[in-house]
Chains A and B, each alone.
Chain A
Amino acid sequence: MTGHWTEFTVFAVLFIGVAIMGFMASRWRAGDSMDHLDEWGLGGRQFGGWITWFLVGGDLYTAYTFVAVPALVFGAGALGFYALPYTVVLYPLVFLPVLRLWSVSRAKGYVTPADFVRGRYDSPTLALLIAITGIVATMPYIALQLVGLESVLRTMGINAHGFVGHLPLFIAFLVLALYTYQSGLRAPALIAFVKDGLIYIVIIVAVIYLPAHLGGWSHIFDAAQKKLTTPNPATGKPSGSITLSSTNQLQYATLALGSALALFLYPHSATGILASRGRNVIKKNMIALPAYSFLLGLLALLGYVAIAAGTKPIINNATGKADGNTIVPALFQGQFSGWFAGIAFAAIGIGALVPAAIMSIAAANLWTRNIYKEYLNRGATPKQEAKQAKWASLVVKFGAVAFILFIDPQFSIDLQLIGGVIILQTLPAVAIALYTRWQHSRALIAGWAVGLAWGLYLLYTIPNPANGKLHFGGSALQLGKLSILGWHPFGGSTTQIYVGVVALAANIIIVLVVTLVLRAAKVRDGLDHTVGADYHVDEGDSGLRQVAAD
């Protein structure tokens, strides 16, 4: 670590301050007892508009987003900008469904999306599948927060080989694990204020100062276009362009749509929503959260700014390869003084802790409610549930650390793509089920299995010519290679599409067909434990169940 002492000092001071906040958070707006999942896992279901805005914003716009989106724009150009339409179409799409999810969860005391599926279908098997899907899709997402944190640490010169190189990351994560254990969802909710405050300051300063300093946006885009259209020595083709090509427009649109449909199926998004006090809080947040989207759009453009500034990614000494994820930290290091770069690094670093905490809590809630209580200890008391969830959150975090230790970060990014394809397969059982119970629970299981298997198979067949990988090389499928049992409906087409929406389409078709068959055969389905009125309850309704009641 040479010459980065100012950066590191600013970073360390902010990081330690946040850790102290995390431990203090258990006493913030505390309920009668922390021994209930409503308290530990959902912060007492009491968060108002501002807290929800910071919490959900801190939850959805992660450190990984902040480093990977500009890195993608840096490497591939316009395609990386999909993050903007993704987060713009997101809120109108989920505006109505999340209100129904909040109401039914509030009415029935559900803590996870799988709890809702359990109540709606009376099928522990379907709920188990939804819970496992959620946990599996969340694990690599937590690991990616570590990738974000590590990119900052390595830029600051903490870039050793092998195990020692990962050590600072472990320490940071150990501290995070301990205060999440103690304070539950209150810790990330409180820290999110600091994280988002820092992020807003850093991005706004960067997008005002850097273009002025580097000759204006026009010059930046021209420089980016020149570099992106230069053929890549590995493939002989240009690596991208500042506009979309004829083959990746459909990919851009389906990636944006598929990601938007997937986001609120992730358990951690549901956790942020269920922790809010009432429907009005959620509605206002659906209007106010796009402020982060605008910020994300500006942030993505820093990928081009890095090209114009001649920024080079840092070599990751653990893998010996240039790490594209360090492009934004390296840009800040090259263009700003040490103390401001330190603030920017702290913003990204703390930005990793908030979602990692919420994700581990969400995964712990799934484990506790839909596996432990359902299969291991049916008579678990709320206190036992809370204790189980606390321990599970530790296990999940160390699982994510193990991920980083054994897997090349480039590979973990592919896992994120796979995670999106996986979680999308819960859409018929969770999101559609909020509106209708027409689909049979066994049809949902069949659709889930087919969508998952086909989606994973398609991902397996995708190569990446840039790094020579033959399988799991990305999430863009050439339509010409799409084969339905040997039949090629779009033979010869080079247009690309996001695998997630293809697998989801297969899933929905199977659900439709199998439901028709089962209904025709009069196969019985379980009871619906919810009633229509449950989907409209709101804070202050008479007869509403108590928070943290048994």
Chain B
Amino acid sequence: MTDSHPRPQRDDTGGRPPGAPRRRGPNALIWRWWNLLLLLPLLMLLTPWYNKDRPRLAGMPFFYWYQLAFVFVGVACVSIVYAATRTPSGAEPSGADPDDPASGRPGAIR
């Protein structure tokens, strides 16, 4: 199936900076163990774990404050994956927009 493909214009590995992961196959899939952390928030779908009224927090049943607290679990998981899988500073081509000093630098706030 890959034989008939046009050749990639950009080399998949040649321009790969040190520390950046290898891209495999015609789909250039990248395996990162950290990405498994993105499955953790799915635990929120296990309703028997939290389908109860008590203990209440500030008058709010467990069912509700547990799920509101899970918003932060979701944010934490995505944040950790984001931070851990960032390509090393300078590895990605730097920003093309000379007017915007923040562009292209992964840590910069935009």
Interface residues of A (CB under 8 A from B): 48-50, 78, 81, 84-85, 88-89, 91-93, 95-96, 211, 216-221, 242-244, 249-250, 252-253, 256-257, 277-278, 280-281, 283-284, 286-287, 290, 293-294, 297-298, 301, 435-437, 525, 527-529, 531-533, 535-536, 538-544
CA distance A301 to B40 in the complex (A): 25
CA distance A216 to B58 in the complex (A): 8
Asked if B67 is at the interface (CB within 8 A of a chain A CB), the reply is yes
Q: A218-B56, A253-B45, A293-B71 are in contact. Are A535 and B28 (CB under 8 A)?
A: yes
- Which residues of chain B in 51-85 are interfacial with respect to chain A, using CB atoms and an 8 Å cutoff? 51-53, 56, 58-61, 63-64, 67-68, 70-71, 73-75, 77-79, 81-82
The residue on A at minimum CB distance from B79 is A287
Residues from chain A with Cβ under 8 Å of B46 in the complex: 253
- Looking at the assembled complex, report how far the CB atom of A535 sits from the nearest CB atom of chain B, in whole angstroms: 5
Interface residues of B (CB under 8 A from A): 1, 4-12, 23, 25-30, 35, 38-42, 44-48, 51-53, 56, 58-61, 63-64, 67-68, 70-71, 73-75, 77-79, 81-82, 92-97, 103-104, 106, 109-110
- Looking at the assembled complex, report how far the CB atom of B13 sits from the nearest CB atom of chain A, in whole angstroms: 10
Tell me which of A244, A293, A297 contacts B47 (CB under 8 A).
A244
Given contacts A88-B71, A284-B110, A541-B96, 8 further A-B contacts (CB under 8 A): A243-B63, A287-B78, A297-B68, A531-B26, A532-B12, A539-B95, A540-B92, A540-B97
Q: A78-B63, A535-B27 are in contact. Are A85 and B44 (CB under 8 A)?
A: yes
CA distance A542 to B42 in the complex (A): 38
Residues from chain A with Cβ under 8 Å of B25 in the complex: 532
Residues from chain B with Cβ under 8 Å of A256 in the complex: 44-45
Q: Is the CB of A533 within 8 A of B28?
A: yes
Residues from chain A with Cβ under 8 Å of B5 in the complex: 527-528, 531
Residues from chain A with Cβ under 8 Å of B95 in the complex: 539-540
The residue on B at minimum CB distance from A519 is B1
Residues from chain A with Cβ under 8 Å of B6 in the complex: 529, 531
CA distance A280 to B53 in the complex (A): 40
What's the A-B contact tally at a CB cutoff of 8 Å? 168
Q: Is the CB of A532 within 8 A of B8?
A: yes
Q: Is the CB of A89 within 8 A of B23?
A: no
- Looking at the assembled complex, report how far the CB atom of A115 sits from the nearest CB atom of chain B, in whole angstroms: 18
Q: A287-B78, A294-B71, A540-B97 are in contact. Are A531 and B63 (CB under 8 A)?
A: no
Q: Is the CB of A533 within 8 A of B68?
A: no
- Looking at the assembled complex, report how far the CB atom of B12 sits from the nearest CB atom of chain A, in whole angstroms: 6
CA distance A252 to B93 in the complex (A): 44
Residues from chain B with Cβ under 8 Å of A277 in the complex: 103
Q: Is the CB of A243 within 8 A of B53?
A: yes
Q: Is the CB of B67 within 8 A of A249?
A: no
Residues from chain B with Cβ under 8 Å of A532 in the complex: 8, 12, 23, 25-28
Q: Which of B7, B95, B109 has the most CB of A within 10 A?
A: B95
Residues from chain B with Cβ under 8 Å of A93 in the complex: 38, 42
Q: A532-B27, A540-B95 are in contact. Are A290 and B59 (CB under 8 A)?
A: no
CA distance A88 to B50 in the complex (A): 15
Residues from chain A with Cβ under 8 Å of B110 in the complex: 48-50, 280-281, 284
Q: Which of A89, A542, A543 has the most CB of B within 10 A?
A: A89
Q: Is the CB of A531 within 8 A of B67?
A: no
The residue on A at minimum CB distance from B96 is A540
Jot down 14 A-B pairs with beta carbons below 8 A, ordered by A.
A49-B109, A81-B64, A89-B41, A89-B44, A96-B38, A218-B56, A221-B61, A242-B53, A242-B61, A243-B53, A244-B51, A280-B110, A286-B82, A532-B8
CA distance A216 to B5 in the complex (A): 65
- Looking at the assembled complex, report how far the CB atom of A295 sits from the nearest CB atom of chain B, in whole angstroms: 10
Q: A243-B52, A243-B53 are in contact. Are A91 and B78 (CB under 8 A)?
A: yes
Residues from chain B with Cβ under 8 Å of A257 in the complex: 42, 45
Q: Is the CB of B8 within 8 A of A540?
A: no
CA distance A48 to B93 in the complex (A): 18
Q: Is the CB of B81 within 8 A of A95?
A: yes
CA distance A255 to B92 in the complex (A): 39
CA distance A84 to B81 in the complex (A): 22
Q: Is the CB of B44 within 8 A of A538?
A: no
Residues from chain A with Cβ under 8 Å of B103 in the complex: 277-278, 539-540
The residue on B at minimum CB distance from A296 is B71
Q: Is the CB of B41 within 8 A of A253?
A: no
CA distance A96 to B42 in the complex (A): 15
Top-6 shortest CB links A-B: A532-B28, A218-B59, A217-B59, A540-B96, A92-B38, A49-B110
Residues from chain A with Cβ under 8 Å of B23 in the complex: 532-533, 536
Residues from chain B with Cβ under 8 Å of A78 in the complex: 51, 63
